[in-house]
Chains A and B, each alone.
Chain A
Amino acid sequence: MKAKSLFFLFLFLSFKVVAQENLLSLLNEKNETEYTSYIFKGTKIVNGQSVEITSKNELKFNIQHRFGPINSGFYNLYGLDYAQVRFSFDYGVNNWMAIGIGRSSVSKTLDGNIKIKLIRQAKGIKNFPLTVVVNSASYLNQYTVEDRKKSSFLFTDQLIYSHQILIARKVNRDFSVQVSPTFIHYNLIDNSSRQSNDNISIGIGCRYKLSNRVSVNAETFPQVYNSMNDNVLSLGFDIETGGHVFQLHLSNSPAMIEPIFITETVSNFFNGNIYFGFNISRVFTIKN
């Protein structure tokens, strides 16, 4: 008898549990698409652009620093005596487009870029394995005042262009990988230097999350057409400290703009010609 009543008690209890789970099942939405977010922490992997774009209505101010070569010895405090800087602003126009402007100190180059998100990695009704973004940038490599006075001077001679297709996939919560086919065009090249007008490179980058707040990133841009210089190889750490992302880099190029670090890298990473650098960014919300 006791066993029987116990049986019914359990039966009743099980109904109760089922009933409450049924209540939850009334809320289940079957037709959903889950978009993959936060493939990379920043809008750049190390030096090159990542598939992340600045959020809508947000203005991001970046200060980028690159010191001199680490193997320049104690006399130069391992490169820390030198520094070049790039200031830039990025603004999220809407959810799929961001624009940016910047200026680099060493080559006196002004640059502007536009990034457009074409498709997002998703699963559910819409299923797509990759996030694809296009990035187009123009660079104005300013000539000196004397050079501009020459009769042969053409404004367009100062222009450089780079166009990229950024294709990324978040493989799992820690690991993301990106392939970035890049085309770079110089309007005018210096015949005495190791440059060519058209350059093609297939960039590869990845990030691995060491913890929720620290990730390690790596990036290289092998040149596949008209290669005249070394290929850039960069390692970076992204460290989050509340409101900021602090990025530390090691790279064999001190440049911070695509044409220069992809095609004009002259030092070899494995010979110790490595430059230390960091980025700090601050985000301002323009309107809610």
Chain B
Amino acid sequence: MARQIISIFLIIFCFKTNAQNFVGKEGIITFFSEAPIENIQAVNKKVGAVYNASTSELVFSVKIEDFIFPKKLMQEHFNENYLESDIYPKSTFIGNVVELKENGYAKVKGKLNIHGVTNSITAEGILNINKSNVVIKAKFSLKLEDYNIDIPKIVIYNIAEVIDVDVEIQLDKYEG
């Protein structure tokens, strides 16, 4: 009996998730660091995300090496010294949309993993659900020390302690 219940549950669950998933792999994340000596901006155009419309689950996955900096030396330092992308190649967000209004205003809560450190975060933005796609836009801030990212004193005026993050992605209905 129990086995039957579980299998039915599993089958229903499978159908449910498959039918409601929206997937995007070409999202854009930009981050800004405003500091007295220089402003740093980097962009990643290969951001992946999945939104499950029935369960309101939302996940993001970002490859750290895909962040492009205007200066290659900055990119090297970002990967080698600060984010250590050889040890922590990806950053992930696993969360839920906890509030969604008709005008598209959305509140997302979940766990963000960067540099091997996981923190609970909340972000506000826009989530528009259309027939065949979902468009997500959000802005939030991160504190570097929350993610165990050390900035040496000598470059403290070059790198901001709080980083502004800008997310923009379109998710298409996932078939199969």
Contacts and interface: CB of A to CB of B under 8 A. Distances in A.
Interface in B61-76: 61, 65, 70-73, 76
Interface in B109-161: 152, 154-155, 158
A241 interface: yes
B43 to A, nearest CB: 12
A23 B81 contact: no
Given A26-B23, A242-B158, A285-B70, A212 B80 contact: yes
Nearest to B16: A19
A173 interface: yes
A24 B154 contact: no
A38 B50 contact: no
Nearest to A32: B63
Given A24-B94, A242-B158, A38 B80 contact: yes
B6 A11 contact: yes
A108 B162 CA distance: 50
Nearest to B24: A27
A265 to B, nearest CB: 32
Contacts of B55: 16, 19
Contacts of B17: 19, 22
Interface string A227-246: 00000000000001111000
B174 interface: yes
A202 interface: no
A242 B70 contact: no
B22 to A, nearest CB: 10
A23 B21 contact: yes
Interface string A120-147: 0000000000000000000000000000
A38 to B, nearest CB: 5
Q: Classify the interface of chain B: helix, strand, loop or mixed.
A: mixed
B57 A37 contact: no
Most chain-B Cβ atoms within 10 A of its Cβ — which of A22, A24, A27, A243?
Answer: A27
A213 B81 contact: yes
B122 to A, nearest CB: 17
A192 interface: no
A20 interface: yes
Contacts of A213: 81, 152
A20 B76 CA distance: 32
B102 interface: no
A241 B73 contact: no
A283 B73 contact: yes
B79 interface: yes
Contacts of B72: 55-56, 58, 283, 285
Contacts of B154: 241-242
A56 B70 CA distance: 11
A26 B21 contact: yes
A191 interface: no
B147 to A, nearest CB: 15
A10 interface: no
Contact of B70 (A15, A22, A27, A288): A288
B115 to A, nearest CB: 12
A198 B106 CA distance: 72
A37 B50 contact: no
Interface of A: 11, 15-16, 19-20, 22-24, 26-27, 29, 37-38, 55-56, 58, 173, 212-213, 240-243, 283, 285, 288
20 contacts: A20-B59, A23-B50, A23-B52, A24-B61, A26-B21, A26-B50, A27-B48, A27-B49, A27-B50, A27-B59, A37-B65, A38-B79, A55-B72, A58-B71, A212-B80, A212-B81, A240-B77, A242-B158, A283-B72, A285-B70
